Amino acid sequence: MKNLEEALNTERVVYSEETIQARIKELGSQITKDFYGKELVVIGVIKGSLYFLSDLTRAIDLPVKIDMVGFSSIPDTTSKTGIVRITKDVDIDITDKHVLVVEDVIRTGLTTAYIIQNLEMKKPRDITLCSMLLNPDRLLMTIPVKYYGFEINDLWLAGYGLDRDEIGRNLPYIAQIPKKK
Amino acid sequence: MAIITISRQNGSLGDEIADALASRLGTIVISRKYALDNFFGEINPGTLDRLNESAKFFDMALPGSDRTYADILVERIRALASESKDKDLVILGMGGSVLLSGFPGAIHVRVTASETTRLNTIAKKYRITTDEASEVLDIGDRKHRKFVRTVYGKDITSPEQFDLILNTDRLSVDECVDAIVELARKHDMRVKLAESNESSNTIDHQTRNISFKNETEEEFARILSLYNIEWLYEPKTFPVEWDAEGNVTMAISPDFYLPKFNLYLELTTMDQRYVTKKNKKMRLVKELYPGTNIRIVYKKDFNELVDRLKMFGGFGDNS
């Protein structure tokens, strides 16, 4: 039986627990300042943002409401790539509210664009994005990422919510893993 | 912004569709009644009755003027359309499709239904027999045709003047409104993009039928659609180099435009030797057309995106 690090074959620690927590404190303080006196709903994207959402919201000193959205692709006989569906919609009414969408990582931005479009239909006052990790070189979409923890490149990563085939989310830090063959 | 003209057969629910459409768009219906109330100043009751009764009276000159009611009607509706830059406009009847034929961005809709449906609608609406309804229909249809023939010399029933013909035998008012709104929204996007060429010196490259150059483009379009991201294919050409005589010697037509994100995407999934040339073109676009968001989708990005999406049942976080 392998332990978690062995199962993931981790190569090196990219962001330690301490580094992550220190950055989250900074983000939390900034968000607290920016949204002071405003009605804020924080929405995490299932499942990757699980730990980040949990730590970030506890670093925000405001009476925020918290919800989550989930989506996945399902097979479609007419296309090689299937179709994307919302599997968990927001339960809180976000009409006319400030919304902060929390993601684990934004790379191409396609999934984020999809989520933003869906949330926009509920007529929030505005939508702001916060991602733990951001790869600006691969970002295709013009999406407003106001807050992010760290910039990354094309590394393959696991931990702190990020997975490989659903394994590795509970690793308390972010590690580099070998690229999938 | 949408300018929508609605022509309808009597009893086809055209009036109801116009009302529901205007309500959906947050505007009012410009109808014949609206025109009579607002376009001609104060009208004495006798003249008003005549204008309501027969189209031929629209050829009368206004008191103290050499201009006819028809002249004023045409002028006012065209003025409303020209001034409606950022507003929606719903014009019911009055030969709107003829009046605004070829007007940029205008969508011309004809609402029809079978005679049986129309008879039943009229009979129910006015609580009359179907025989009486038949008479009402005859008179109403004749009046509509006559109005357009008299005022503009055109036939309102000829289909080629309409962008969309709806048959309400089986469609509800709500379904018809959905179809019109969606058509108007998409068409407006194309019109705005075409208009933007005037100020930016770019070239309109939009076609009415998409023909992808290769499978990669087709697959990428599918991926965007999968994410519910609206796209237009090669809608614009950006000239980036000219010769001494001003002839375009180098240009780029980005493969996709995403209106929602005001973003052009160029795929370089072909031989990577061409990437350098494309990078140069992209740099020139950014220099020559400031404010244009344009990005390259590299082969690596595309392949990874496709691979990830093929794994049904969820996205890995590395996608």
Give domain status of residue B296, yes or no.
yes
Q: What is the CATH number of domain A4-176?
A: 3.40.50.2020
Question: Would you state the pLDDT for residue B315?
Answer: 40
Phi first, then psi: give them for residue A62, nearest 5 degrees: -140, 155
Domain holding B282: CATH number?
3.40.960
Give domain status of residue B319, yes or no.
no
pLDDT-derived band at B205, boundaries 50, 70, 90:
confident
Q: Can you tell me whether residue A159 is helix, strand or coil? A: strand
Enumerate the β-bridge partners of residue A147.
A130
Closest CA to B17 of B96, B110, B98, B126: B110
Task: Between B59 and A89, name the one with better pLDDT.
Answer: A89
Query: Does the CB of A88 have a partner CB in chain B at under 8 Å?
Result: no
Query: Does the CB of B178 have a partner CB in chain A at under 8 Å?
Result: no
pLDDT-derived band at A77, boundaries 50, 70, 90:
low
Dihedral sign, Cα of residue A91, residue A94, residue A95, residue A100 = negative
pLDDT (mean) for A102-124? 90
**Model ipTM?**
0.77
Q: In terms of domains, do B37 and B167 share one? A: yes
Residue B229 reports pLDDT greater than 70: yes
Domain holding B15: CATH number?
3.40.50.300
Interface contacts A/B by beta carbons within 8 Å: 86
Enumerate the β-bridge partners of residue A60.
none
Q: Among the residues of chain A, which ranges form H helices?
A: 4-8, 17-34, 50-59, 110-120
d(CA B224, CA B258): 9
Domain ranges of chain A: 4-176
Give domain status of residue B193, yes or no.
no
**Domain span at B210:** 201-310
- Whether residue B312 and residue A82 make contact (CB cut-off 8 A), yes or no, is yes
Count of domains for chain B: 2
Q: In terms of domains, do B121 and B16 share one? A: yes
pLDDT (mean) for B146-163? 83
Residue of A78, A110, A171, A180 for testing the chain B interface, max B β-carbons within 10 Å: A110
Q: Which two tokens stand for residue B256?
A: 């996709």
Residue A5 reports pLDDT greater than 90: no
Residue of B218, B261, B318 for testing the chain A interface, max A β-carbons within 10 Å: B318
| Cis, peptide link before residue B286, omega less than 30° from 0 | no
pLDDT (mean) for A120-130? 95
Give domain status of residue B277, yes or no.
yes
Provide the shortest C-alpha distance from residue A93 to chain B (in Å): 22
Q: Least CB-CB distance to A81: which of B261, B265, B310?
A: B310
Q: In terms of domains, do B184 and B293 share one? A: no
Q: What is the pLDDT of residues A129-145, one digit of tens each?
A: 999 999 888 888 888 89
Q: In terms of domains, do B99 and B31 share one? A: yes
Q: In terms of domains, do B217 and B261 share one? A: yes
Q: In terms of domains, do B212 and B160 share one? A: no
Percent of chain B having pLDDT more than 70?
A: 94
A164: DSSP letter: B
CA distances from B305 to A90, A166, B12, B187, B300 (A): 26, 18, 48, 30, 8
Residue B313 reports pLDDT greater than 50: no
Q: In terms of domains, do B212 and B124 share one? A: no
Q: Least CB-CB distance to A117: which of B223, B228, B306?
A: B228
Contacts 24+ apart (CB under 8 A), B207-211: B207/B233, B207/B234
Question: Would you state the pLDDT for residue B316?
Answer: 43
d(CA B166, CA B267): 39
Contact B226, A81 (CB under 8 A): yes
